[in-house]
Chain A
Amino acid sequence: MPSKRRPARGVRLPCGIRYSVWYTGQVKKAPAREILAAIQKSGQASGELRSMSATQYARALVDDAAYFLPRKLLAYFQQQEYPTEFDRALEYLAAMPTSGVRILVREPHDDTEHVENKR
């Protein structure tokens, strides 16, 4: 029976990407989920946007991308891998021509999550 390979004790795993994003006249620096949540809760957001959870908003951005992204660009994005669906949704949102969101910097974000082998 094959054994599961686990990282050695104390190994840190990268936990995603931290984005610097230009939005509403400011630069915000946070992981994708926090940025999407901030957009939802902003003063300009309507009832429809505020009523969604961050997960629902991310899913809506991905599901509706065919309406708002050029076909070939969407095809390119769909071939890429992202740490989470929030990262994918943020990339889509920033690529939409009429979106006010622009990604300035992407930095690996290490939350120093230690992995321990259970014995």
Chain B
Amino acid sequence: MRSAKRQKPRGRLDPSVLPGTHHTRVFIGGSYVETETPVLRYFADVVKQNGYEPIVADEYVMPPVALHDITMYLLHSCRLAIFEASNPSGALMELERTADFGTHCLVLFREQEGYWSQSAMLASLVTQHAGRILLCSYVRPKSMRPIIGKWLATMKKELRKAGYAK
């Protein structure tokens, strides 16, 4: 049964009322600095246009002391996740936890940006969880539209095979 969004003051959403269902929600993770947020919003729009519900933690009301806990709760509420990993951020903590939650992940990073080309830790994590995590670099954000669409379509097939509705 679908849940409705409920607006909190200042336009932030109530995390106790999430849209969609567990297998139709896609957590959108990344850095929320000013230079990264537009890309996250673009990816969220692409997810929405593909019939899924993007969950962007920054859109939900949460007291600063509970930021980690509520964000992990949001992540756990989603079967799928897309991470923008060009900039080191708390998203790495979230990515690490997806192993516990069984979340299927698409990890995107902007080419020539330095971090992925330097982090053997992250490359190792992706290799070990290759059945669950897909890694993709991009130059232009819009080039990720077909990649995201194709990945969501693949996830949909797997969900049907596993016996989920829709």
Interface string of B110-127 (1 = CB under 8 A from A): 111111010000000000
User: Which DSSP category, helix, strand, loop or mixed, fits chain B's interface?
Assistant: loop
Say whether A99 contacts B113, CB under 8 Å: yes
| A-side contacts of B33, CB under 8 Å | 97
Q: Does B90 touch A at the CB level, under 8 Å?
A: no
| Contact among B42, B114, B139 with A60 in the assembled complex (CB-CB below 8 Å) | B139
Minimum distance in angstroms from A102 CB to a CB of chain B: 11
Q: Which B residues touch A101, using CB under 8 A?
A: 112
Least distance between A4 CB and chain B CB atoms (Å): 40
> How many angstroms from the CA of A45 to the CA of B112 in the assembled complex?
7
Which residue in chain B gives the minimum CB-CB distance to A72? B34
Tell me, rounded to whole Å, the shortest Cβ–Cβ distance linking A49 to chain B. 5
In contact, B139 and A68 (Cβ under 8 angstroms): no
Residue of A52, A100, A101 with most chain B CB atoms under a 10 A cut-off: A100
Complex contacts, A49 vs chain B, CB 8 Å: 111-112, 139
In the bound complex, residues from chain A placing their C-beta under 8 Å from that of B35 are 67-70, 96-98
Given A67-B42, A68-B35, 17 more contacts at CB 8 Å? A44-B111, A44-B117, A45-B111, A49-B112, A64-B140, A66-B38, A67-B39, A67-B141, A69-B35, A70-B35, A96-B35, A97-B87, A98-B87, A98-B114, A99-B112, A100-B114, A101-B112
**In this assembly, does B143 line the interface, its C-beta being within 8 Å of a C-beta of chain A?**
yes
Contact of A100 among B38, B87, B113 (CB under 8 A): B113
> Interface residue count for B (Cβ, 8 Å)?
22
A71 to B138, CA, bound (A): 22
A99 to B36 Cα, complex, angstroms? 12
Interface residues of B in 24-56 (CB under 8 A from A): 33-36, 38-39, 42
- Of residues 20 to 66 in A, which have CB atoms within 8 Å of B's CB atoms? 39, 44-46, 48-49, 52, 57, 60, 64, 66
List the B side residues contacting A64 at CB < 8 Å.
Answer: 140-141
Known: A44-B117, A48-B143. A67 touches B111 (CB 8 A): no
Top 10 nearest A-B pairs (CB, nearest first) are A98-B113, A100-B114, A67-B38, A48-B139, A98-B86, A70-B34, A67-B39, A49-B139, A98-B87, A60-B140
